[in-house]
Structure 1
Amino acid sequence: MNDLLKIPCVLMRGGTSRGPFFLASDLPHERAARDSALLSIMGSGHPLQIDGIGGGNPVTSKVAIIGPSTIKGADVDYLFAQVRTDRQYVDYSPNCGNMLAAVGPFAIEAGLLAATGEDTLVRIHNVNTGKLIEAKVPTRGREVIYLGDASIDGVPGLAAPIALTFMDAAGAKTGKLLPTGKAVDMIDGVAVTAIDCAIPMVLMRAADLGVTGYEEPQVLTADRDLIERMSRIRIEAGRMMGMGDVADMVIPKPVLIAPARKGGTLSVRYFMPNDCHPALATTGAVGIATAAVTEGSIAHDLAGGLSVPAMVRIEHPAGRLDVQLEMRNGAVTAGLVRTARRLFEGFAFAKPMAAIEHAA
């Protein structure tokens, strides 16, 4: 195996996502070399990622890169990478709040900070957005605890709860909550709310695109007319949000919203951007909940005109995700509970960069 790169790796589930976690110091420092290693490890460029450890789906083709914090007020840096399944491309433009749930446990077990008691507060600097997130990790006996009695929709079984608090998540990429300057814009004859909170998104009423918003994810993903129309809207929204040409980026994320049917606040279908998520992204939930309390937005109208403080209960294909919105130091914070689990540890093997370029 002398011709393969051997890189320490921990495979972890975070929320409803899964992927390898690496220490930044174990990966190549130069971006092109790092990207080629990640593409090889994940097996990108093949729909099944058969020559790598990716799961052939956007929610299982994610990477977390963790290191000591580079800013004051944080314990660790977290760089998220969305590794495309359909082609060899690593996208650092989004953040992933589900993978974020596993950052604290990984960082503690990797020795980046010490457990402090029954619970350990880990302050995470998301490098992708520059934002700060607090994670309260169960650490009884000064060790990370994964087993518990918490459940999250979209993941079978029970696990220890990890409380996440997004601190002032507005303007994660563009610097503005409403990057176009409006709560509602018209694109391709459809009313949209372009919002940037935790992650940039384009919210649309499902009914305005000829669907109910309650369909199963695979049904929506297979509706190519719907996907193509949302893609056109998403690309134009990205331009209007000041993000330039987003055709090759996974943000902004398109989101279909509809009235709740099961006692929640809203029902949503979240896209990544051309596949419907089987549940809901954590960052998406934070942004959607914030939209629900943003006057004039499409979500605000459907949610019945909520204001902070508020509990926003978001129905998604696998169940529901609750987001508690509060005011802290003049900014809106969003709190929610996720779970995580350590799945496998060892080494990932990557082809050298030259071999990948030759294969491409």
Structure 2
Amino acid sequence: MTGPAEVRCMLMRGGTSKGAYFLAEDLPADEAARDDLLLRVMGSPDPRQIDGLGGAHPLTSKVAVVSRSADPQADVDYLFLQVAVDRPEVTDRQNCGNILAGVGPFAVERGLVAAGDDETVVRIRMLNTGELAVASFPTPGGRVDYTGGAEISGVPGSAAPVVIEFPRGGSPLLPTGRVRDVVVGTEVTCVDNGMPTVLIPATAVGISGHESPKDLEEDLALADRLREIRLEAGRLMGLGDVESATVPKLSLLAPPKNGGAVTTRTFIPVRCHTSIGVLGAASVAAGLLLPGGVGEGIGELPARGDRMRIEHPAGFLDIETSVDPGSAEVAPAVRRTAVVRTARKILDGTVFPRSAGTAPIPPRPQGGQR
């Protein structure tokens, strides 16, 4: 396939991820041509991504496609695309709350939304799920200011805060309809508060849950066990065959060590996350608040308020979540979710994709946009 020889692009850090941000109008309208172009932009398939923008890890091989929204409840539309590192694959079957942190500032930078004098609020429709998010960030003098005192674990230094609130969505919090399921002989809680996630007590799969991501990735027996759980849980959650999908995520739960509510080790889906995704953390927090869930007896819930600290390998993520536990007649539901992230513009200019090759692009995995 062929495509443009050069493309306008902004490289941004969003939360604890990094990705290439594009206006939809700057990319081919045809999905196959777009995906082919993005593979060449990011340097995939290649474990080093040496010939593109990718950073040889799923957390740095991400793409945001942004456009004005036709939805009266939103200002812009955001499509997240995960570009595989070592495979010729681009998928939209998951969302990304970290890359989401950069969407509002990018929309202002590209003129899709007018900046306020002090602060700008951008309503974002997340096309992967159809749900909404509202991002607020400083724009003194009508310009995005990336400097500030907000710090997040996994990112050195500080930057301006981006407050993201997630209005209550339409998807069921418990995709299986049950607070506990037994999957491959393991009790789990399947939850979706923006990211389909399977919560698993770490001890149930033979680990403490405090191991390093590297050690966990090298545990082949653990990898086989988690794969079996993920495939079966995916079917139970209505996601179909998830063999080639990046959802559901698996979050292993262990007691906190540094004053938080819980310690997590999250798989995305094979690599162990060096921190935790925003929407994954939102799902963990909501799951911990469910009476009867597998987090009972593991997590230490805050005595007051909605703010919960989720510990992960690089530190912690603070998230505010409240849940209506429901009743025999009414299913549990999330009342509110909000998180503070940061974002930073790294580079704005033109990217030159490598020359088009002859390797075919595999068909997009079926099963819906998640």
TM range (shorter): over 0.9
Query: What is the distance in 2 between the residues matched to 1:308 and 1:79?
Result: 36
- In structure 2, the residue matched to 1:248 is 244
How far off its partner does 1:303 sit?
Answer: 2.7
- In structure 2, the residue matched to 1:79 is 79
CA change 1:315–1:327 in 2 (3 A) is closer
1:30-109 map, 5 Å: 30-109=30-109
Is it true that 1:334 corresponds to 2:337 in the alignment? Answer: yes
Is it true that 1:260 corresponds to 2:256 in the alignment? Answer: yes
CA change 1:249–1:327 in 2 (3 A) is closer
Query: What is the distance in 1 between the residues matched to 2:217 and 2:126?
Result: 29
1:195-344 map, 5 Å: 195-304=191-300, 310-326=306-322, 332-344=335-347
- In structure 1, the residue matched to 2:156 is 156
| Residue identity (%) | 44
CA change 1:133–1:300 in 2 (3 A) is farther
- What's the secondary structure of 1:39's corresponding residue? helix
- What's the secondary structure of 1:302's corresponding residue? coil
How far off its partner does 1:197 sit?
Answer: 1.3
Query: What is the distance in 2 between the residues matched to 1:333 and 1:193?
Result: 20
CA change 1:359–1:143 in 2 (3 A) is closer
Contact 2:52 2:354 in 1 (8 A): no
Runs (5+) with no aligned partner, structure 1: none
How far does the alpha carbon of each residue in 1:169-219 deviate from its partner, in whole angstroms, 9 at most, with x for none? Answer: 462xxxx21111111111111111111111101110101111111111111
User: TM-score under structure 2 normalisation?
Assistant: 0.91
Runs (5+) with no aligned partner, structure 2: 325-332, 363-370
Amino acid at match of 1:16: T
Amino acid at match of 2:352: F
Over the aligned positions, Cα root-mean-square deviation in angstroms equals 2.1
- In structure 1, the residue matched to 2:327 is none
User: TM-score under structure 1 normalisation?
Assistant: 0.93
- In structure 2, the residue matched to 1:136 is 136
Contact 2:154 2:314 in 1 (8 A): yes
- What's the secondary structure of 1:339's corresponding residue? strand
How far does the alpha carbon of each residue in 1:33-53 deviate from its partner, in whole angstroms, 9 at most, with x for none? Answer: 001001111111111111211
- What's the secondary structure of 2:6's corresponding residue? strand
Contact 2:191 2:197 in 1 (8 A): yes
How far off its partner does 1:91 sit?
Answer: 1.0
How far off its partner does 1:307 sit?
Answer: 9.7
How far off its partner does 1:305 sit?
Answer: 6.6
How far does the alpha carbon of each residue in 1:102-153 deviate from its partner, in whole angstroms, 9 at most, with x for none? Answer: 0011000100011112111111100001111010011011100001111000
Residue correspondences, number: 353
Is it true that 1:349 corresponds to 2:345 in the alignment? Answer: no
How far off its partner does 1:351 sit?
Answer: 4.6
Query: What is the distance in 2 between the residues matched to 1:69 and 1:251?
Result: 26
- What's the secondary structure of 1:279's corresponding residue? coil
